[in-house]
Chain A
Amino acid sequence: DVVMTQSPLSLPVTLGQPASISCRSSQSLVYTDGNTYLNWFQQRPGQSPRRLIYKVSNRDSGVPDRFSGSGSGSDFTLKISGVEAEDVVLYYCMQGTHWPFTFGQGTKLEIK
């Protein structure tokens, strides 16, 4: 199975400052159709996950533009350009290229 490694697992942040989460896969996530199925999810306490980014860098409808995704192959990043209080929750990357699909361990943002 493809192993997804997120870092850091805990990220102290200052409101208004940028933040960045890394996600690395144990093999390339480029699928035979040319797409790279790397998604990012946000999860608030007691709620279902919400997708923020799909196929590396496509922002979902309603997601603030302070969130951006980048990367290629097996190395990906989620960036928040200026952290707001509502962003201080959990984030997961997920690969949908190789079955069985797999998630990273999760990164918890916390106020510094």
Chain B
Amino acid sequence: EVELLESGGGLVQPGGSLRLSCAASGFRFSNSGMSWVRQAPGRGLEWVSGITGSGGATDYRDSVKGRFTISRDNSKNTLYLQMNSLRVDDTAVYYCAKGDRLTDYWGQGTQVTVSS
């Protein structure tokens, strides 16, 4: 059974940093692209970043480029999202999702709140 467990969310001040983690199990992690998707309160889904199975290619939505970094440790079956220079409009539930072009399984999400 595929399981994705996000952690690392919390309350941070504008300009601060957080690192999200996603522990994966139930599938061959190193063979799967992965994605981070977020959802602000009462809003729609917003793709944030993706990474290929090897980690050799990554991409980001424009609003987080230069501030967020996606990475993975295939030896630990874990996906990361380093978020720096956080802004109020980064406040959202952040979901880890298996796959990139074909995101199929999603975690339960971790809340990130950016507020002073």
Contact = CB atoms under 8 A, between A and B. Distances in A.
Interface residues of A, number: 25
Interface in B3-51: 35, 37, 44-47, 50
A37 to B, nearest CB: 4
A103 B103 CA distance: 12
B103 A105 contact: no
Interface residues of B, number: 21
A13 B6 CA distance: 35
A46 B50 CA distance: 24
Contact of B102 (A1, A39, A48, A92): A39
- Interface SS majority for chain A: loop
Interface in A25-47: 31, 37, 39, 41, 43
B103 A39 contact: yes
A103 to B, nearest CB: 4
Contact of B101 (A48, A92, A96): A96
Contacts of A39: 102-103
